[in-house]
Homo-oligomer: A and B are copies of this chain.
Amino acid sequence: MDLNDTPEQAAYRVRVAAWLHEHRDEAPALDLPEEELVPAQRAWQRRLAENGMAGVTWPEEFGGQGLGPIESVIVGQEIAKARVPGILDVIGVGMLGPTIIAHGTQEQKGRYLGPMLHADEVWCQLFSEPAAGSDLAAVQCRARQEDDGSWRLTGQKVWTTNAQFSAHGLLLARTDADVPKHKGLTMFILPMDAEGVTIRGLRQISGEAEFNEVFLDDVRVEADAVVGGPGNGWGTALTTLMFERLTIGSGAEGLGYRPERFVELVARDEHASADPEVRRRLGEISIELLAVRFGGYRLLSMLQQGTIPGPEAGLAKVTTVSAAIEAFDLVADVLGPDALDEAGETAYGISFLPGLKSAGGTEEILRNTIGERVLGLPPEPRLDKGIPFSELRAKEREAVAK
């Protein structure tokens, strides 16, 4: 059992730390207004990329370092230690870039990966829709092919992070409604400035717009915008989702919910640390979060041995979100209504977490998947298997009307 760096890793860590220490003054302050913050973050990502601290696991031919997951985590840990921001485009570099690397054409790789890595072009993920969240294969956004080979896209996407300043989006659309739902999907690259694209901020409980809605009204994209071939959209999406799981699973600490943080918040009340009831709740929460921390290390260790983690890796997010909800509840119970001041971090946490709970698919569906794929339990009866998508929708409408 070894959680410690090898000599090579230790040397790498020293180099990373040294660079960050030397250049930390160049990092942007996160309390800038968005219009100044985003350009500053772009510049910072470029600096990180140029010095090998973005796309650590990307192949070298696309500007990456060709290193393993451990080195990637070392970079993340040192960035956290240096108290500087990480890269701006976590979604592009962490999930969408790897998808293009896996499924894109040579032209697509040549055209898009470099600017993505250097934050010249930020990316967003256009998968979820109002009626297709956990059940992602139910997307309704339609793509119709023209005689010249180009496509026309119409529909609505939602929960899109960074859309307001993205250059491109990776978009999942339905190209054939007459086959079962997983089979009629295609993945596209969408220029976000194309005519017919409307972006609207979606405010959350806190009042902040953490996400966007993206409306597509007969948007034209060229034939070469297809990633992974027409009709293969579901397989391409699964690759993105696997990288999403890795990003979340190995970086649950990255959500910022460390036990130490809550301990410090609770300790602001002078009586709290001597109250057995508070201590019990604080202990239970901390145990969950410590388990996630070491679960993350176990995952990383598996990755390094070449094992691809299964869906159970998604439990890290479930555990983290549930524990963080309990934690902010405890803080507010201890501190009273003052903790609900919207300007404070506790109120923000209380507002933010319910939305995070369903982000990336609900806990219920995750538990179904783990029960069936990991424990081998029999499947939930599925009423949508093998039925053409168009028929399925008609059935639903009928059921609601009843």
Shortest distance between the CB of A272 and any CB in chain B (Å):
11
Interface of A (DSSP majority class): helix
Chain A interface, number of residues (Cβ within 8 angstroms)? 10
Shortest distance between the CB of A281 and any CB in chain B (Å):
9
A3 at the interface (CB under 8 A from B): no
Question: How far is B283's CA from A277's CA once the two chains are assembled, in angstroms?
Answer: 12
A381 at the interface (CB under 8 A from B): yes
A381: contacting residue among B279, B378, B381, CB under 8 A: B381
A383 at the interface (CB under 8 A from B): yes
Residue of B nearest to A399 (CB): B378
**A169-206 toward B: CB 8 Å interface, digit per residue (1/0)?**
00000000000000000000000000000000000000
Residue of B nearest to A274 (CB): B276
A111 at the interface (CB under 8 A from B): no
A275 at the interface (CB under 8 A from B): yes
Residue of B nearest to A381 (CB): B381
Question: How far is B15's CA from A7's CA once the two chains are assembled, in angstroms?
Answer: 90
A280 at the interface (CB under 8 A from B): yes
Question: How far is B275's CA from A279's CA once the two chains are assembled, in angstroms?
Answer: 12
Q: Residues of A with Cβ closer than 8 Å to B?
A: 275-280, 378, 381, 383, 399
- Please, could you name 7 A-B residue pairs with CB atoms under 8 Å apart, sorted by A? A275-B276, A276-B276, A276-B277, A276-B278, A277-B277, A277-B279, A277-B280
